[in-house]
Amino acid sequence: MLFKDVIGHSKTKQHLINEVKADRVSHAQMLLGPPGIGKLPLAIAFAQYLLCDNPSAKDSCGICPNCQKMQSLTHPDLHFVYPVVVSKTDKIASSDDARTEWNKLLTSRPYFDLNGWMEYIGFEGKNPIIGVEESRAILKKLSLKSFSGKYKIMIVWLPEKMNSQAANKLLKILEEPPTKTLFFLVCDSSEEILPTIISRCQIIRIPQLSPDEISAYLEDKHKLDKSLAQTFANLSQGNLVNAINTAQGDEAHNAYFDLFVKLMRAAYAANPNELMDVSDEIAALDKEKQKNFVLYGLHIFRESLIKNYLNGELLNLREEEERFLDKFARFINNQNITELMTSFNDAYYHIERNANAKILFSDLVISLTKLIRKGV
């Protein structure tokens, strides 16, 4: 993958290139940022730049033997570690046992998150880990001599999924790294990573993508018209993977709309049976869909304010959403918007931290009855 194929992050790309030019590439770098923003493609593009025979001032050449091997993910000096569901039945003990599937997904769809990876290998809803067997495989791979005479590069995707045994073994490797070996740790969150591992890495913080960058990508790659691409980009909150999933599945987008309408009508009517039915329906969704639904609700609240106070000039809505807001938007105003946004943002926070969904959404729908009425 070339830098030019990675969406956005121009400042980060230049920073990485400057490291190479100044010959100060740290042996352990942590690419840290929210999910769905392209940290993994960025790490692979950086690895290709380091292994390229004829890199330019802006990118790898893309045509030398090393680049060709990198682009097909067959370069012997490029190694990956990523979470898998350990299974004796499926004979999966480490990343290597799912490498064929990993390569296929990366080459066909380089922007994905953990949920997308689990869906692709048929383990949706399971708990993937990076286990101790992975550490033994790392030591074995890195003991080999570099094929290209350049670096050996190990990309660890989501090291926060390491169990304690694997993390402690990785720490030892980072403390005494083999010669000409680089580690790129691609993280969504550093909270569950050993502080001693973090202290041995150069932290590179990767920002969210802008709505314009996401919109341009959707127009180019998914052939969406400009207004719909902008709508999905705004809804994604800087997460390209969410935007792609929405663009590929209008059905899911429609489901969020239908569920949101049902929720708001039940909240306005203060009908306890309907509220609990909607709460159970949301709680039954998987974690990623729950998060996407909450983001969708935040999007509709923002668009309601725009419709109320800016005469709808900046609306990013589809036709059925506009019709709904013609009647709904007046209930969202300065009397309740702060509390509504806080409630939904708090829900997103607790979903990410694996709160009990049934309790979480029961509390949320009950609070909505008061908040919607407050805007009348």
Q: Is residue 230 part of a domain?
A: no
* pLDDT band at residue 250 using 50, 70 and 90 as cut-offs: low
pLDDT at residue number 315:
57
Of 142, 172, 205, which one is at a domain's C-terminal end?
205
| Residue predicted with more confidence, 221 or 39 | 39
Q: Is residue 210 part of a domain?
A: no
Of 177, 205, 233, which one is at a domain's C-terminal end?
205
Q: Do 49 and 174 sit in the same domain of this protein?
A: yes
Q: Do 256 and 180 sit in the same domain of this protein?
A: no
Q: Do 201 and 317 sit in the same domain of this protein?
A: no
* pLDDT band at residue 45 using 50, 70 and 90 as cut-offs: very high
Q: Do 29 and 105 sit in the same domain of this protein?
A: yes
**Would you say residue 227 has pLDDT above 80?**
no
Residues 184-197 have pLDDT tens digits of: 999 999 988 999 99
We report the CATH number of the domain holding residue 163 as 3.40.50.300
Q: Do 38 and 150 sit in the same domain of this protein?
A: yes
* 212: Cβ contacts below 8 Å, ≥ 6 apart: 233
* 256: Cβ contacts below 8 Å, ≥ 6 apart: 292, 293, 296
Residues 319-344 have pLDDT tens digits of: 788 889 989 999 998 889 999 999 99
Cα–Cα distance, 230 to 234 (Å, whole number): 6
Domain count, the chain: 2
Q: Is residue 279 part of a domain?
A: yes
Q: Is residue 237 part of a domain?
A: no
- The winner for highest mean pLDDT among 101-105, 121-125, 370-374 is 101-105
Q: Could you tell me the residue range of the domain that residue 290 belongs to?
A: 249-374
Q: Do 268 and 182 sit in the same domain of this protein?
A: no
Q: Is residue 51 part of a domain?
A: yes
Q: Do 45 and 151 sit in the same domain of this protein?
A: yes
We report the CATH number of the domain holding residue 264 as 1.20.272
Q: Is residue 219 part of a domain?
A: no
Q: Do 12 and 145 sit in the same domain of this protein?
A: yes
Q: Do 161 and 293 sit in the same domain of this protein?
A: no
Segment 59-71 shows an average pLDDT of: 96
pTM: 0.74
The string of DSSP letters for 179-245 reads TTEEEEEEES-STTS-HHHHHTSEEEEPPPPPHHHHHHHHHHHH---HHHHHHHHHHHTT-HHHHHH
pLDDT at residue number 112:
93
* pLDDT band at residue 127 using 50, 70 and 90 as cut-offs: confident
Q: Is residue 258 part of a domain?
A: yes
- In the chain, the amino acid numbered 117 is W
Angle between helix axes 357-374 and 287-309 (nearest 10 degrees) is 10
Segment 156-172 shows an average pLDDT of: 91
Q: Do 154 and 19 sit in the same domain of this protein?
A: yes
* pLDDT band at residue 243 using 50, 70 and 90 as cut-offs: confident
Q: Is residue 345 part of a domain?
A: yes
In eight-state DSSP terms, residue 330 is G
Q: Do 145 and 15 sit in the same domain of this protein?
A: yes
Cα–Cα distance, 30 to 33 (Å, whole number): 10
Q: Do 36 and 149 sit in the same domain of this protein?
A: yes
pLDDT at residue number 138:
83
Average pLDDT, the chain: 89
